[in-house]
Structures are given as C-alpha cells and as structure tokens.
Amino acid sequence: MALFSTIPSYENSALLRNPNIGIDKSPRPRTSNGSLRLISLKIMATHTQVADSSSVQPLLTKPLEITQLPIFQFDEYLSMKAKKVEKALNEAVPLQYPKKIHRAMRYSLLAGGKRVRPVLCLASCELVGGDQSLAIPTACAVEMIHTMSLIHDDLPCMDNDDLRRGKPTNHKAFGEETAILAGDALLSLAFEHIAAKTTKVVSPERVVRAIAELGSAVGSSGLVAGQIVDVLSEGKEVTLEELEYIHVHKTAKLLEASVVCGAIIGGGNEGEVERMRKYARCIGLLFQVVDDILDVTKSSEELGKTAGKDLASDKATYPKLMGIEGAKNFAAKLAAQAIEELAHFDAAGAAPLYCLANYIAHRQT
C-alpha cells in the first residue's frame, strides 16, 4: 500500500509539458525499410484530445530538446490501433443466439471507449519485439474485463449509475439480471479468448503466464479488492494509504496487466517484463488520479457520464485528500516516473508508450 506516496521528485520530463508545443502534421519521414526515422528533435506527441491540457499542471514552460526520439504521430497511431481492437472485439462477440445476452455484451463492449488498455497491451507487445497480431486476443480480453467491471460497477446496488459513455448504463438498457450475466459472460470470455485465440506462434507457457497475470489483476487481490474497499469506504474517513489501495487495485492492476501481458505474449524477457510492470504501475495510478480530477473539473456532458458523483456520494478522491493542485502535481510526478522506466528501452519502440503516458495524463474525458 501507499506505493506511490514517497515517489521521488522528477520534474524534467518533456512529456509533462503542454503537448501542443511542436505539433508536426507533416508525413512521417521513414527509412527505406519503412521504419520510423530517428532524429534529434522535440517530442511530437500530437493529438487533438490534449488540446486543453489544463487538467494537469505543466511542469515546464519551455520545451526540452531530446535526442534520439522519433517523429511520432500519436493521433494516427492511437486511431489505427483502436480500429484494430474495435474490429477484433466486434468479431469476438457475434450477435448470436441467445441474442439478448450478446446484444447486452456488445452494447457495452462496442460503446466506443478510449481503448487505452488494449492499445497499451499492443504497444507493450511491440516494444519487446512481438508482432501486434500475437497480442490481439489478449488486448480484447483486457477490454472485455474492463467492460465487465464497468457494467457491474454501475449496478443499482453498487454505484447506481444511469449514464456511461454518454449512453444509458447496461442495466438501464437491458435490465439488472441481463447486465449481471453480460458481465459474467465477458469475464469468462476474456480468459477463454486468450486461451482459444492466441496464435500457436506464441508458446503456451507464455499464454498460461498471461492468463495467470490477468486473473490476479481481476480477482480478490485485484480489481474486485479495489471495488469492495471502495464500496466499504463510502461515507467514511479514508486515509491516503487506503485511497491508494483502492485505486491501485481498482484501476492500476488491470492497466498493469494489460502492459505486462502484452510484454509476456510479445516475447519479452524477465527484465523487460518487470520494467514494463513498473511503467504500468505509474500510469495505472495516474489514470485514476486524472479520473478523480476530471470528476470535479468537468461537466457530465463533457465526460459522457455523471460528473461530480464521487463528491456527491462522499467517496474518497485525490482532489478531496490533496486539493486539486496537489492532485495535479501528483499526476505529473507519476507521469514522470513512468517515462523514466521507458528510458531503458529503444526510443523509437517506446514512443507509443511515452505518448500513452502523456495521453493518460492529459486526457479530458
């Protein structure tokens, strides 16, 4: 617990500055074999989603000169990967008999989320040298599990939410019993999908390892542990330690598993897998800190879900415990630490994960 309370100060990160500096919309320069050209330049993390980066305080006012980083069109990358995931998810849950359950599963699974987890999984797979096709079933699995957790979390006896991603929540659209079953089916399908659909190119040892890793991120030592402590903490005084326990388990563990499973399936060695784990732990907690900040700074319309819920339900949040500015500073430190872990990898390969950390830090929904 309190994994990140004593995080070291690390304030020279280029990716924590306003990402609008140095936008490059020109075609990507490529070497003759089509790989990205490595040049000395400012980081070109450019995506429309971060047009307003006010939610996280920029640490630097002047951009840093970084050597050996590729020109990298993050917008294009994210959209390309998300499209791949979307297609795979659509195929993974066909609208077959019994139609009601498959309709309910597809309703939430294909509701156009940000696909951060599956993209992290694919990026991690590629960073350690694997082809992304190897990790597509695992990427789908983490999104299925994430969707399951949202469906069950929204239920009347849990968060009792009516709105999710701008649409009625699953139980509002299909009824409680179908929502519970749709979640169960997605959770089960996640594991089945990795086991049944991962190409034989990946050694079964690695498939088994990935399943064990993912399982530990979901069960009573992972996601569910975070959810139960969260539910039990409502209306009570919560310490920073307890808050971190909730978020590390409720959010960070699955993000961590997404990244780690990608590295396992992609053929990463022990050192690489553990390095990716550290990166993922930082962005996992970062994700939740930003979520908490958005909950108090954005409207329901902007978020596509009920804003201010955490405050209204007297839930523990970072802004409540640290103040908005304190929470923003903490987010910046987490992003910096995540980026530090990536310094040990090839810069071109790590570019998507640099940008993903930045994207998570600066997202507006």
Inter-CA distances, 119 with 30, 146, 186, 322, 335, Å: 23, 13, 19, 30, 17
Of the pair 187, 334, the CB lying nearest a copy of itself is at 187
219 binds a copy of itself (CB under 8 A): yes
Q: Parallel, antiparallel, or unpaired: how do β-strands 163-164 and 66-70 relate?
A: unpaired
Of 47, 84, 117, 193, the one binding a copy of itself by CB under 8 A: 193
Number of residues that bind a copy of itself (CB under 8 A): 53
- CA 191 to chain centroid: 19
Of the pair 130, 352, the CB lying nearest a copy of itself is at 130
Structure tokens at 207: 């498939």
Over the window 59 to 98, marking each residue x when it contacts a copy of itself by CB under 8 A and - when it does not, the resulting string is ----------------------------------x---xx
Structure tokens at 321: 């415990």
Ordered DSSP codes for 28-97: PPB-TTSPBPEEEE------GGGS--TTS--S-SSPPPEEEEE---HHHHHHHHHHHHHHHHHHHS---S
Which residue stretch of 49-57, 212-220, 286-294, 347-355 sits at the interface with a copy of itself (rule: CB under 8 A)?
212-220
Of 7, 60, 111, 158, the one binding a copy of itself by CB under 8 A: 158
Of the pair 29, 175, the CB lying nearest a copy of itself is at 175
173 binds a copy of itself (CB under 8 A): no
Of 7, 38, 64, 231, the one binding a copy of itself by CB under 8 A: 231
Cis peptide before 98, with omega less than 30 degrees from 0? yes
12 binds a copy of itself (CB under 8 A): no
209 binds a copy of itself (CB under 8 A): yes
Q: For the stretch 157-168, what's the b/e string if a residue is b when 16 or more beta carbons lie within 10 angstroms of its beta carbon?
A: eebebebbeebe
Structure tokens at 129: 């040298």
Of 65, 76, 91, 176, the one binding a copy of itself by CB under 8 A: 176
195 binds a copy of itself (CB under 8 A): yes
